[in-house]
C-alpha cells in the first residue's frame, strides 16, 4: 500500500537531432552545441503537477529540487545555483502550500573557478509576475 519512491526519468544520453536535407539524403547531427555559450532565458515552472501525492512536510524541499532539475534539463548543466529570493518565494507559504507556478530567469554563465569540473553553471533567479496567462519562454538580453 506504500508506493516505493521513484526518481523521475532523466536521460543520460546527449541530445542528438537528425535533420534530413530537403533534396539529398544527407543528415546532420547536433550534439549539445548550445552548452558552450552563456545565455539567459525566462521560463515558467509548473510546480503544482509535481506536488501531486507528495506528503505535506516534503513539498517545499521537493519544489526546490524540481526547479533545480528543470534548470539542469533546460540549460544542460549539472551545476545549478538557486538564488536566495527564489528560495524564499518557494517557502513563502510554508512547507505545505507551495506556489502553483513560478517564473524563473535561467542564466547559463561561465565558471570563474579554474579547477571546477564543469566550465558552465546555471543561476536561477525569481522573476515576479502579476499573472502567468500567455507567458512563454523568452530569451533575455544579457546586461
Nearest by Cα to 122 from 54, 62, 75: 75
What pTM does this model have? Answer: 0.74
pLDDT of res. 62: 98
Identify the burial level of 105 via C-beta atoms within 10 angstroms of its C-beta, where 0-12 means exposed, 13-18 middle and 19 or more buried.
middle
Question: What is the sign, positive or negative, of the torsion defined by CA atoms of 42, 44, 50, 55?
Answer: positive
pLDDT of res. 24: 53
CB of 106 closer than 8 Å to CB of 122:
yes
Tell me how far apart the alpha carbons of residues 72 and 50 are, in angstroms, rounded to a whole number. 16
Give Cα 55 to chain centroid, integer Å: 23
pLDDT of res. 113: 85
Tell me how far apart the alpha carbons of residues 95 and 97 are, in angstroms, rounded to a whole number. 6
Question: What is the sign, positive or negative, of the torsion defined by CA atoms of 28, 33, 34, 35?
Answer: positive
Given a cut of 70, the residues of the chain with pLDDT beneath it are 1-3, 6-35, 142-143
pLDDT of res. 125: 98
pLDDT of res. 21: 46
Q: Residue 81: enclosing H or E segment and its boundaries?
A: strand 80-82
Amino acid at each position: 500500500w506504500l508506493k516505493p519512491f521513484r526518481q523521475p526519468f532523466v536521460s543520460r544520453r546527449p541530445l542528438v537531432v537528425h535533420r534530413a536535407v530537403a533534396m539529398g539524403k544527407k543528415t546532420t547531427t547536433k550534439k549539445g552545441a548550445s552548452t558552450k555559450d552563456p545565455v539567459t532565458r525566462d521560463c515558467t515552472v509548473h510546480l503544482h503537477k509535481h506536488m501531486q501525492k507528495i506528503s505535506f512536510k516534503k513539498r517545499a524541499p521537493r519544489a526546490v529540487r524540481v526547479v533545480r532539475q528543470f534548470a539542469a534539463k533546460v540549460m544542460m548543466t549539472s551545476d545549478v545555483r538557486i538564488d536566495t529570493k527564489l528560495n524564499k518565494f518557494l517557502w513563502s507559504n510554508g512547507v505545505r502550500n507551495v506556489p502553483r507556478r513560478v517564473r524563473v530567469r535561467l542564466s547559463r554563465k561561465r565558471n570563474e573557478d579554474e579547477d571546477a569540473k564543469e566550465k558552465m553553471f546555471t543561476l536561477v533567479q525569481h522573476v515576479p509576475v502579476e499573472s502567468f496567462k500567455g507567458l512563454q519562454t523568452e530569451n533575455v538580453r544579457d546586461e
